[in-house]
């Protein structure tokens, strides 16, 4: 016979476990608000069913959202990554990897935050939120990314990234082959604000505030397997026309360059319609690393440009 006291303790523990498990790994019923969870600690694991996070979520190691699952994150949720560096490369190994889908939509004044769990946080404390070979339409809105190697990476996936802040990361946003909209975000105080690593698309970068980074935007093509964009003959149009649009952004006061082309970026790019921090050609060109400085690179066509800051660029409220 189990004593009544012990039975009550077991019941209480079971109740706590049920609430904890339910908030962490079960999708809420349709129309039901996510359960306000206590702190959730996740260590290296694969989550294979639809999941909703809220409250504070601590990640230690690599957490994978499986291909059949979608992770929904409620407004105001704090996702924190512990710094562990098993390979001693100076970058924390903790990571959130999405193979399925992610809907992380915060709200103005109630953002979802992805940051270091360390008491003295620093860039590279964690790796990144990686969306990789996803078959979903992923949404990142009103989120904040801090202290990552890259705050967010989008590779071989479709996503929209809006109204979000990327600050104090090594790279704010990195992407390769992607179908991606990057609109009304702020990138500041990163080593690199936006890094496009494959120069394949289509990608739209519009109405963003990109300032105070070492390099604002860094564009470098892949050395192999180039598809979609590899079409040097564009009938006289700039190479990126219809494939990559970078327009109506405020790209200014970045420490080394507002825009830099990487090795083998041989083609001319149309980047007109942005504000570059000045109305004078020589000052704008001083902030762009292209054929002006390296004859092997393409030319950035920045004219016509905005002479004044573009109102409405940056996080704003909701668009």
Partner 1 sequence: MTFIPVLFLVLLFCRQPAWGGVLEGVVFSHDGPVAESRVIAYPDFESLVRHEKSIESSSGEKGGQFKLKLAPGVYYLVATGEQDGRKLFSYHGLNPITVSDEYRWLPFFLTPEKEPVCKEGQGTGISGLVSYRDVPLDHGVVSVYKSREGKFRGMGLLTNTIGDNGLFHFNLEPGSYAVVARQKKKEGGIGPVMQGDLFCYPSTNPIVIEEDRLCDLAIECYPRDNLEEYLAEGAENPQGRRHEKRRHASLWDIQPEEAQTRILVRPATISGTVTDLNGRPVENLVVTAYPSMGIDPFQMHILRLITENRARTDDQGRFRIELPGGGLYYLQAREKIGAAPERLEYYGLYEGNRNHAIRINPGESRSRINIQVAKIMPFSEVRERLQGEEHD
Per CB under 8 A, residues contacting partner 1 are 44-46, 48, 61-64, 66-68, 97, 99, 132-137, 155-160, 176-177, 179-181, 198, 201-204, 222, 224-225, 227, 241-243, 245
Nearest approach in angstroms of CB 308 to partner 1 is 23
Q: Under 8 Å CB-to-CB from 39, ≥6 apart: which residues?
A: 55, 56, 57, 58
Burial 82-100 (b: 16+ CB within 10 A, else e): bbeeeeeeebbbbbbbbbb
Nearest approach in angstroms of CB 133 to partner 1 is 5
> Two tokens at 55?
């409250």
Nearest approach in angstroms of CB 201 to partner 1 is 8
Nearest approach in angstroms of CB 108 to partner 1 is 22
């Amino acid at each position: 016979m189990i004593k009544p006291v012990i039975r009550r303790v077991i019941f209480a523990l079971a109740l706590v476990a049920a609430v904890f498990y339910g908030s962490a790994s079960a999708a809420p019923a349709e129309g039901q608000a996510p359960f306000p969870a206590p702190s959730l600690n996740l260590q290296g694991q694969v989550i294979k069913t639809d999941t909703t996070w809220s409250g504070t979520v601590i990640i230690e190691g690599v957490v994978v959202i499986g291909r059949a699952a979608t992770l929904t994150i409620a407004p105001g949720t704090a996702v924190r990554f512990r710094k562990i560096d098993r390979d001693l490369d100076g970058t924390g190994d903790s990571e959130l990897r999405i193979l399925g889908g992610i809907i992380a939509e915060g709200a103005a004044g109630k953002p979802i935050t992805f940051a270091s769990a360390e008491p003295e946080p620093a860039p590279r404390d964690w790796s990144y939120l990686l969306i990789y070979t996803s078959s979903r339409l992923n949404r990142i809105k009103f989120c904040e990314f801090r202290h990552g190697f890259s705050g967010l990476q989008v590779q071989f996936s479709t996503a929209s990234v809006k109204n979000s802040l990327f600050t104090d990361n090594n790279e704010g946003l990195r992407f390769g082959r992607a179908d991606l909209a990057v609109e009304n975000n702020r990138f500041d105080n990163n080593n690199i604000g936006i890094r496009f690593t494959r120069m394949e698309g289509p990608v739209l970068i519009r109405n963003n505030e990109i300032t105070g980074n070492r390099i604002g935007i860094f564009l470098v093509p892949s050395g192999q397997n180039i598809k979609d964009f590899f079409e040097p003959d564009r009938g006289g149009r700039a190479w990126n026309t219809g494939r990559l649009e970078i327009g109506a952004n405020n790209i200014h006061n970045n420490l080394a360059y507002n825009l830099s082309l990487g090795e083998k970026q041989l083609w001319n790019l149309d980047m007109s319609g942005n504000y570059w921090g000045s109305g004078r050609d020589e000052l704008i060109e001083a902030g762009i690393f292209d054929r002006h400085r390296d004859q092997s690179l393409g030319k950035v066509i920045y004219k016509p440009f905005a002479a004044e800051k573009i109102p409405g660029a940056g996080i704003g409220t909701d668009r």
